[in-house]
């Protein structure tokens, strides 16, 4: 629940920012053509105020990250700056077997649950948009429930369920849990994409001789690919960062990165975690641009 | 001749309680350019979809080439559809859009290229093969859709308002082109439109539809000159309609006593029994307008009135004339032979209208239409 709200707040800020001030051309790629001198002159005052708001919000969002980044290079464990050093990175990459074990678990779970959720969520979206059957409205409304329910309730109910069917807590249960909460997100994103496209395209494919399966593979799938891809990426992200649900359904040997970090932090913040966070932020930034460009290129046609 | 004959008999189709088609029957000949014409919502698309196989009729039979195709899926009928929204595949190039059916059949690349290029040149798009649909103009998308629908070499092509999304000039050009494509491929075209000008200019025959029924089938000329009912007369072109009662009959002519106007002499093809309530339809371009009375001649109907509104539009002037007996009449005066004398008719001028009995027809008056006759004297004079 908290995660969702944060996500929403972030989106709202982003949207507001976009409205106030176009992103610098470096970031927006093939951005809009530069506005004429006249337009600028007219709006100078407005821009001055919005510039201030823009930088204030940026500072607010990124200051913690900057601090974290700086402290990952601190040469001591203390809260004050004692000198520059790579020691925490050394310890992160060379002396943290358990951490990398947890990272491995997270990666397996994230990719595994995102793949399963993408497959199931996309098929569900195609099914509810293309076919009508008596329980279609129920599928449509029920699929949102895991998204709306507080995570703690999802976590507890999954735990009770796994105990009930006698499934031992471990990677399998974490995978099932993550797949469960990821499906609605994929379903939503793919449905949105499907709703956009003209149903007569499918009729045209059938008219020209495509079978149901050929229509799915050659027409529906490629057209909805941006929705499927963003569904997959969303699922990976949600799975990587999930703590509450995982906390309930993880067992020995299936500790994920968030669980590991939480348990490590209970004994005081280790700068290794700072280093790890810095690496993850850098990794995310590096991954976002290719992904964005891919989606953009795909959406362009 | 290539192409198939299409038989539609007794097709009915309901959506819930709403009857979209109420027993439609048509015989379409091989190679014909056949139009389904009617106002929006009259069931044209539904009928086309029934013929194509996208819609299962509640009752009735569709035959193509003498074979009953009811129940067959769209790709098993030898017809293909050009959709109103083009329905191009956005992720494929123009070439691959047109090649789509051939790829499904796994034809060798060389043959695919040959066939696709042949069809792209038929619609004059050879230079655009590698573009994506989003880079094309409306008219070009339309051509891709036509090429794609023709590549399977169907014997019937179904077109659902293919030009409705284009602007007026382009529509005229595409219409001519469509006609020439029809001549080249020689297959049967079934063309849906709500635009009577389109239908009149390209069709071999037209079926006029309204509210799920076919009202009249005939050549453009038959439909225009001899409309079967009020509705057809008013839907196709502009018409003056006068309601009245058949007072007498002599030979091919009937005298219809019209309220407020007196007797009108009208050509009546058979059905107009004495005492029947009918409508008289006169096209605005058939009426002569003059400042002096043309004099009495037996076959001439003459009315007098006052110019209410002259509307000049270059090639002609449209006059709305307020009749002495109440009601108003629309008259077109072509500007041909302008030099022989410019009729200087102005607002409030008294004029005489005349037309030959042969230029007006008796049409069935449907009760609904009678209440809303636009031009004619059927509207009771204001008290
Ligand atoms: N799938 C459908 N479900 C319900 N009503 C429909 C459906 N398809 C068409 N109709 C109704 O049938 C009538 C005829 O539609 P249509 O054949 O599309 O008319 P046209 O093409 O002549 O404009 C319309 O009133 C329309 O609302
Ligand atoms: Mg229609």
- For residue B39, the CA-to-ligand 2 centroid distance in Å is 9
More confident residue, A122 or A45: A122
Question: Which of B52, B83, B104 is nearest residue A210 as measured by Cβ atoms?
Answer: B104
| Per-residue pLDDT tens digits for A228-286 | 998 999 999 999 989 999 999 998 888 999 998 888 888 777 788 888 888 888 888 88
- The tokens for B331 are 């008259």
Which residues in chain B land under pLDDT 50? 367-383
CA of B41 to the centre of ligand 1 (A): 6
The more confidently predicted of residues B229 and A11 is B229
Ligand 1: nearest atom to the Cα of B16 = 4
Is the residue at A24 inside a domain? Answer: no
CA B354, chain centre distance (Å): 28
Is A42 a member of any domain? no
Rounded CA separation B10/B16 (Å) = 19
A-chain residue closest to B55, CA distance: A203
**CB pair distance less than 8 Å for A301 and B132:** yes
Provide the pLDDT for residue B237: 86
Does a structural domain hold residue A69?
Answer: no
The C-alpha atoms of residue A96 and residue A88 are separated, in whole angstroms, by: 10
Report the C-alpha gap between B139 and B165 in whole angstroms: 9
Nearest residue on chain A to B80, judged by CA atoms? A207
Q: Which two tokens stand for residue A181?
A: 């909460």
Residue A171 lies in a domain: yes
For A69-118, what is each residue's pLDDT tens digit? 888 888 887 777 888 888 888 888 887 788 889 999 999 999 999 999 99
Supply the pLDDT for residue A217.
Answer: 92
pLDDT tens per residue, range B140-196: 999 999 999 999 999 999 999 998 888 888 888 889 999 999 999 999 999 999 999
Distance from CA of B212 to the nearest CA of A (A): 22
Cα separations in angstroms, A77 against A72, A80, A278: 10, 8, 16
> Which domain range does residue A126 map to?
90-300
**pLDDT on residue B299:** 85
Which residue's CA is the nearest one to ligand 1's atom 4? B15
Top-confidence residue, A166 or A92: A166
* Nearest residue by C-alpha to atom 5 in ligand 1: B15
Q: Domain total for chain A? A: 1
| Pocket perturbation via mutation, ligand 1, pick of B17, B20, B42 by most ligand atoms within 8 A of CB | B20
Predicted confidence at residue A44, as pLDDT, reads 56
The answer to whether A197 and A131 have CB atoms below 8 angstroms apart is no
Residue B51: nearest ligand to its CA? Answer: 1
Cα-to-chain-centroid distance, residue B217: 10
* CA distances (Å), origin A183, targets A149, A186, A198, A258, B79: 14, 5, 25, 21, 41
Instruction: Please enumerate, as own/partner, the contacts of B316-320 that have beta carbons within 8 Å and a separation of 24 or more.
Output: B318/B284, B319/B289, B319/B345, B319/B351
For chain A, give the mean pLDDT. Answer: 82
pLDDT band at A185 (very low <50, low <70, confident <90, very high): very high
Half-sphere exposure of B247 (CA within 13 A, CB side): 13
Q: Is the CB of B365 under 6 A from ligand 1?
A: no
Distance B160 CA to ligand 2 centre (A): 7
Residues from B contacting A (CB-CB < 8 Å) are 52, 54, 73-75, 80-81, 83-85, 87-91, 100-101, 104-105, 132, 134, 148-149, 152
**Whether the predicted pLDDT of A5 surpasses 80:** no
Residue A299 has pLDDT above 70, yes or no: no
Residue of B144, B110, B107 lying closest to B127 (CA atoms)? B144
**Could you give the percent of chain A with pLDDT greater than 70?**
83
Provide the β-strand partners of residue B353: B289, B303
Q: Do B87 and A198 touch (CB under 8 A)?
A: yes
Beta strands in chain B (DSSP E): 6-15, 18-28, 33-37, 59-64, 67-68, 79-82, 156-160, 188-193, 205-210, 213-218, 240-250, 253-258, 262-267, 277-282, 288-290, 300-312, 316-323, 328-334, 350-356, 360-363
Q: Which residues in chain B have their CB less than 8 angstroms from residue A222's CB?
A: 91
Any idea what DSSP says for residue B358? G
Whole-number pLDDT of residue A291? 79
Q: Chain B partners of A207 at a C-beta cutoff of 8 Å?
A: 52, 54, 74-75, 80-81, 149
Q: Looking at ligand 1, which residue's alpha carbon is closest to its atom 12?
A: B20
Query: Does any domain span residue A278?
Result: yes
Q: What is the DSSP string of A193-248?
A: HHHHS-HHHHHHHHHTT--HHHHIIIIIHHHHHHHHHHHHHHHHHHHHH--HHHHH
Say how many Å lie between the CA of residue B45 and the centre of ligand 2.
4
For residue B15, what pLDDT is reported?
A: 95
Three-state DSSP class for residue B214: strand
Task: Name all domains of chain B by residue range, CATH numbers in brackets.
Answer: 6-225 (3.40.50.300), 239-378 (2.40.50.100)
The two tokens of residue B132 are 């994506």
**Residue A285: per-residue pLDDT:** 85
Ligand 1 in contact with B99 (CB < 6 A)?
no
Q: What is the pLDDT of residue A270?
A: 77
Would you say residue A131 lies in a domain? Answer: yes
Q: In whole angstroms, what is the distance from residue A158 CA to residue A2 CA?
A: 19
CB distance B15 to ligand 1 below 6 Å: yes
Which of B152, B281, B160, B165 lies closest to B216 in space, CA to CA? Answer: B281
Our CA-based measurement puts residue B30 at a distance from the nearest CA of chain A, in whole angstroms, of 21
| ipTM for this model | 0.80
Give yes or no for residue A36 having a pLDDT over 90.
no
Q: Which listed ligand is nearest to B38 at the C-alpha?
A: 1
* pTM of the complete model beyond 0.80: no
Buried b (16+ CB within 10 A) or exposed e, A221-248: eebbbbbbbbbbbbbbbbbbebbbbbbb
Who wins on pLDDT, B215 or A144?
B215
Protein residue closest via CA to atom 17 of ligand 1? B43
Whether residue A36 lies inside any domain: the answer is: no
Would an 8 Å CB–CB cutoff place A223 in contact with chain B? Answer: yes
B62-96 burial: b if 16+ Cβ within 10 Å, else e: bbbbeeebeeeebbebbbbbbbbbbbbbbbbbbbb
- Residue B291 pairs with which residues in a beta bridge? none
* pLDDT at res. B45: 95
How far is the centre of ligand 2, averaged over its atoms, from the C-alpha of B200 (Å)?
A: 18
Q: Residue A207 belongs to a domain with what CATH number?
A: 1.10.3720.10
B207 bridge partner residues:
B36, B217
Q: Which pLDDT value is given to residue A25? A: 42
Q: Ligand 1, from B15, B16, B190, B208: best to mutate by most atoms within 8 Å of Cβ?
A: B15
Q: Residue A225 falls within a domain, yes or no? A: yes
- β-sheet with B6-15: strand ranges across: B18-28, B6-15, B59-64, B67-68
């Amino acid at each position: 629940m908290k995660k969702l709200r944060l996500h929403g707040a972030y989106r709202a800020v982003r949207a507001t920012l976009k409205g106030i001030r176009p992103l610098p051309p470096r970031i927006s790629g093939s951005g809009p053509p530069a506005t004429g001198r006249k337009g600028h002159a007219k709006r100078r005052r407005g821009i001055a105020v919005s510039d201030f708001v823009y930088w204030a919000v940026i500072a607010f969002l990124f200051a913690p990250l900057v601090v974290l980044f700086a402290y990952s290079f601190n040469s001591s464990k203390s809260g004050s700056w004692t000198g520059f050093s790579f020691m925490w990175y050394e310890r992160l990459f060379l002396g943290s077997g358990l951490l990398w074990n947890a990272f491995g678990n997270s990666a397996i779970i994230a990719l595994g649950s995102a793949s399963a959720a993408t497959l199931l969520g996309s098929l569900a979206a195609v099914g509810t948009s293309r076919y009508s059957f008596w329980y279609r409205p129920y599928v449509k409304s029920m699929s949102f429930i895991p998204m709306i329910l507080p995570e703690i309730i999802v976590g507890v109910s999954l735990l009770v369920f796994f105990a009930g069917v006698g499934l031992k807590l471990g990677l399998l249960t974490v995978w099932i849990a993550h797949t469960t909460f990821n499906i609605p997100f994929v379903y939503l994103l793919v449905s949105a994409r499907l709703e956009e496209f003209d149903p007569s395209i499918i009729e045209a494919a059938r008219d020209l001789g495509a079978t149901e399966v050929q229509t799915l593979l050659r027409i529906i799938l490629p057209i909805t690919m941006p929705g499927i891809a963003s569904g997959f990426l969303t699922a990976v992200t949600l799975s990587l960062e999930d703590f509450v649900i995982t906390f309930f359904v993880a067992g020995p040997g299936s500790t994920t990165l968030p669980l590991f970090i939480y348990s490590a932090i209970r004994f005081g913040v280790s700068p290794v975690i700072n280093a790890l966070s810095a690496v993850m932020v850098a990794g995310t930034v590096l991954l976002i641009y290719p992904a964005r460009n891919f989606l953009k290129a795909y959406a362009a046609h | 001749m290539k192409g198939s004959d299409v038989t539609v008999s007794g097709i009915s189709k309901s959506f819930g309680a709403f009857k979209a088609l109420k027993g439609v029957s048509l015989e379409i000949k091989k190679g014909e350019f056949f139009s389904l014409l009617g106002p929006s919502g009259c069931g044209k698309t539904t009928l086309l979809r029934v013929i194509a196989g996208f819609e299962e009729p509640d009752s009735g039979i569709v035959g193509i080439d003498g074979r009953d195709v009811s129940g067959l899926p769209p790709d098993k009928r030898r017809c293909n559809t050009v959709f109103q929204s083009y329905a191009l595949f956005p992720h494929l190039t123009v070439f691959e859009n047109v090649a789509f059916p051939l790829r499904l059949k796994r034809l060798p690349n060389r043959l695919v290229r040959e066939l696709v290029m042949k069809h792209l040149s038929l619609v004059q798009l050879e230079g655009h093969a590698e573009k994506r649909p989003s880079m094309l103009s409306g008219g070009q998308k339309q051509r891709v859709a036509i090429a794609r629908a023709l590549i399977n070499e169907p014997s019937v092509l179904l077109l659902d308002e293919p030009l409705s999304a284009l602007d007026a000039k382009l529509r005229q050009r595409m219409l001519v082109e469509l006609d020439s494509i029809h001549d080249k491929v020689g297959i049967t075209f079934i063309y849906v439109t709500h635009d009577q000008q389109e239908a009149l200019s390209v069709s071999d025959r037209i079926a006029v539809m309204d509210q799920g029924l076919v009202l009249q089938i005939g050549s453009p000329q038959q439909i225009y000159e001899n409309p079967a009912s009020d509705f057809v007369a008013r839907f196709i072109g502009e018409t003056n309609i006068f309601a009245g009662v058949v007072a007498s009959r002599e030979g091919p002519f009937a005298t219809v006593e019209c309220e407020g106007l007196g007797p009108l002499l009208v050509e009546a093809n058979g059905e107009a029994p004495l005492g029947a309530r009918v409508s008289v339809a006169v096209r605005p371009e058939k009426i002569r307008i003059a400042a002096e009375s043309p004099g009495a001649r037996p076959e001439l109907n003459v009315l007098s009135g006052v110019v209410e509104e002259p509307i000049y539009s270059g090639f002609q002037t449209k006059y709305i004339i307020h009749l002495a007996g109440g009601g108003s009449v629309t008259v077109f005066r072509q500007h041909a032979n302008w030099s022989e004398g410019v009729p200087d008719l102005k607002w409030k001028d008294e004029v005489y209208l005349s037309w030959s009995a042969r230029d007006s027809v008796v049409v069935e008056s449907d009760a609904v239409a009678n209440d809303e006759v636009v031009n004619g004297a059927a509207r009771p004079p204001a008290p």
